[in-house]
């Protein structure tokens, strides 16, 4: 059985920008390409990547980078009932963004590991919830 990972926006941003932790993300995507891991990213989190690059570099750059990165993982579209309920619960309990609540809920519901660098948002949640994290830095 392969390991399951859910990507947070910061993981893909680190990969695209060559930031610290990009090698952890790249190694995970390589595992997926060899069949020893499965990697997902919710479209809400991919939207975070898109609008960040759009704001910094413009529409065409953002479109290109998101398309380029998306070939390495499966994009989850829409919200299942379980993810919807779990994201709502997490959003109501913690001061996190809607996108963060969706990434966390996807990891929890799927039993996957959230690949992220967002300690300031998730350290408390890691202590209180049964969600697995892989810190890229």
pLDDT digits (tens, 9 = 90+) for 111-124: 999 999 999 999 99
Interval 1-14 mean pLDDT: 94
Structural domain span for residue 124: 3-135
Phi, psi of 112 (to 5 degrees): -85, 180
Count of structural domains, the chain: 1
Interval 80-104 mean pLDDT: 97
Residue written as tokens 């059985």? Answer: 1
Q: Where are the beta strands (DSSP E) in 23-108?
A: 37-42, 74-76
Interval 48-52 mean pLDDT: 98
User: Chain-wide mean pLDDT for the chain?
Assistant: 97
Candidates 55, 33, 42; CA nearest to 12 is 42
CATH number of the domain where residue 67 is located? 3.40.50.1010
DSSP H helix total and E strand total for the chain: 7, 5
Instruction: Write down the pLDDT at residue 2.
Output: 79
Q: Kind of pairing, strands 113-116 and 132-135?
A: parallel
């Amino acid at each position: 059985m392969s390991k399951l990972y859910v990507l947070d926006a910061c993981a893909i941003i680190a990969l695209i920008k060559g930031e610290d932790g990009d090698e952890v993300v790249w190694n995970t995507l390589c595992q997926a390409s060899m069949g020893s891991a499965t990697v997902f990213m919710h479209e809400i989190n991919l939207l975070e990547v898109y609008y960040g690059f759009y704001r910094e570099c413009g529409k065409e750059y953002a479109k290109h980078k998101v398309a380029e990165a998306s070939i390495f993982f499966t994009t989850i579209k829409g919200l299942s009932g379980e993810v919807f309920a779990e994201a709502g619960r997490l959003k109501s309990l913690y001061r996190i963004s809607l996108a963060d609540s969706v990434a966390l809920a996807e990891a929890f519901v799927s039993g996957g590991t959230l690949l992220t660098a967002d300690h300031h948002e998730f350290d408390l949640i890691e202590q209180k919830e049964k969600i697995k994290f892989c810190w890229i830095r």
